[in-house]
Structure 1
Amino acid sequence: MSEKQEEINEEVVQNEEVQTQENVEETTESNEEPKELSAEEKIAELEAKLKESEDKYFRVHADFENIKKRLEKEKYQAIDYASEKFAKDLLAPIDTLEMALAAEEAAKDMPAEELLAKLKEGVELTIKNFYTAFEKHDITLVETDGEFDPNFHDAVMQVDSPDHETGQIVQRLQKGYKFKDRLLRAAMVSIAN
Structure 2
Amino acid sequence: MSEETKEELNQEEVETTQETASSENIEEKELSAEEKIAALEEQLKNEQEKYLRVHADFENIKKRLEKEKYAAIDYASEKFAKDLLMPIDTLEMALAAEEAADLPAEELLGKLKEGVELTIKNFYSAFEKHNISIVETDGEFDPNIHNAIMQVDSADHESGQIVQVMQKGYLLKDRLLRPAMVSIAN
Deviations 1:136-169 (A, max 9, x none): 0000000000111111000000001111111111
Is 1:84 aligned with 2:78? yes
Q: Where does the alignment leave 5 or more consecutive residues of structure 1 unmatched?
A: 1-34
Instruction: Number of aligned residue pairs: give it.
Output: 158
Partner of 2:180: 187
1:105 pairs, out of 96, 99, 102, with: 99
Query: How do 1:12-51 residues align onto structure 2 when only pairs under 5 Å count?
Result: 36=29, 37-51=31-45
Partner of 1:57: 51
Shift of 1:39: 2.5
Partner of 1:142: 135
Deviations 1:20-78 (A, max 9, x none): xxxxxxxxxxxxxxx65432222111100100111111111111111111011000000
Residue type matched to 1:134 in 2? F
CA distance in 2, matches of 1:41, 1:106: 94
Shift of 1:106: 1.1
Please give the TM-score of this superposition, normalised by the length of structure 1.
Answer: 0.80
Please give the TM-score of this superposition, normalised by the length of structure 2.
Answer: 0.83
Deviations 1:82-126 (A, max 9, x none): 00010011110010000000100111x211111010000000000
Partner of 1:70: 64
Q: Which secondary structure does the structure 1 equivalent of 2:34 belong to? A: helix
Instruction: State the identity as a percent.
Output: 82
Partner of 1:166: 159
Partner of 1:122: 115
Q: Where does the alignment leave 5 or more consecutive residues of structure 2 unmatched?
A: 1-27
CA distance in 2, matches of 1:104, 1:38: 98
Residue type matched to 1:179 in 2? L
